Structure 1
Amino acid sequence: MPFTMDDDAFEDAVTRALDEIPERLRDVMDNVVVFIENRYEPGPGEDPDTVLLGLYDGVPLTERGMDWGEVPMPDRIFIYQEPILQMCDSEEEVVDEVTITVVHEVAHHFGIDDETLHKLGWG
Structure 2
Amino acid sequence: MRSFTTAPTTEEIVALADEALAWAQRHFPRDLAKLLEGVAIVVDDLPDDETVEEMGFDSPWELTGLWRGVPLTQRSVLQTPDQPEMVHLYRLPILAEWIETGEDLRSLVRNVLIHEIAHHFGFSDEEITRLEREG
Same fold (TM over 0.5): yes
Q: Hey, what's the Cα distance between the residues in 2 that align with 1:45 and 1:87?
A: 17
Map of 1:74 onto structure 2 = 84
Q: Hey, what's the Cα distance between the residues in 2 that align with 1:17 and 1:78?
A: 14
Shift of 1:66: 3.4
Shift of 1:7: 2.8
Q: Deviations over 1:29-84 (max 9, x none)?
A: 23422111111122189255242100011110111123312x65312210111111
SS in 2 for 1:36: strand
Which of residues 18, 21, 43 in structure 1 aligns to 2:24? 21
State the Cα RMSD in Å: 2.7
Pairing 1:36–2:36 present: no
Residues 11 and 37 of structure 1: CA distance in aligned 2, closer, same or farther (over 3 Å): same
Shift of 1:27: 1.6
Residues 48 and 114 of structure 1: CA distance in aligned 2, closer, same or farther (over 3 Å): closer
Residues 44 and 100 of structure 1: CA distance in aligned 2, closer, same or farther (over 3 Å): closer
Residues 92 and 49 of structure 1: CA distance in aligned 2, closer, same or farther (over 3 Å): closer
Moved over 6 A (4+): none
Residues 119 and 39 of structure 1: CA distance in aligned 2, closer, same or farther (over 3 Å): same
Pairing 1:64–2:98 present: no
How many pairs are equivalent? 120
What is the percent sequence identity of the aligned residues? 27
SS in 2 for 1:111: coil
Q: Hey, what's the Cα distance between the residues in 2 that align with 1:77 and 1:45?
A: 15
**Greater per-residue helix proportion:** 2
Is the 8 Å Cα contact of residues 53 and 84 (structure 1) preserved in structure 2? yes
Map of 1:8 onto structure 2 = 11
Structure with more relative contact order (C-alpha pairs < 8 Å, separation 6 or more): 1
**Structure 2 segments unaligned to the other structure (5+ residues):** none
